[in-house]
Amino acid sequence: MNKPVIAIADKVVRMMESMVYLAVSGSYRSGATVEDLSGLLSEWVPAGANIYHDGAVERALCRLQREGRVERAGSRWYARAAFDA
């Protein structure tokens, strides 16, 4: 009975990861902090919807790092392609 809820939750998490990756690779080619990314992503959602807070962005970045899509150098995060260049 709760499988649809799990499926929707998984889709939301994947959507958030995609948005975080898009922000890292498109808007911050020279790297970005978690605060930079959460601030940028918060501008993309309706007012008052605190979806992209620092914790959610950092969790998404850690998952993306495990997948090999982003890298961390100090407090800044980079898209893997920008990091390899």
Taking the domains of the chain in order of start, what are their residue ranges? 3-84
Q: pTM for this one?
A: 0.81
HEC profile of 23-84: HHHHHCCCCECHHHHHHHHHCCCCCCCCCCCHHHHHHHHHHHHHCCCEEEECCEEEEHHHHH
Q: Which residue has the tokens 């850690």?
A: 62
pLDDT tens string 5-33: 888 888 988 988 999 999 998 877 788 99
Fold of 3-84: Arc Repressor Mutant, subunit A (1.10.10)
Residue 1, pLDDT > 80, answer: no
Residue 83, pLDDT > 60, answer: no
pLDDT tens string 39-51: 888 887 777 667 7
Tally Cβ neighbours within 10 Å of residue 23.
Answer: 23
Query: What are the two backbone dihedrals, phi and then psi, of residue 79, each rounded to the nearest 5 degrees?
Result: -65, 145
Q: What is the pLDDT of residue 48?
A: 65
Contacts of 76 (CB under 8 A, 6+ apart): 31, 32, 33
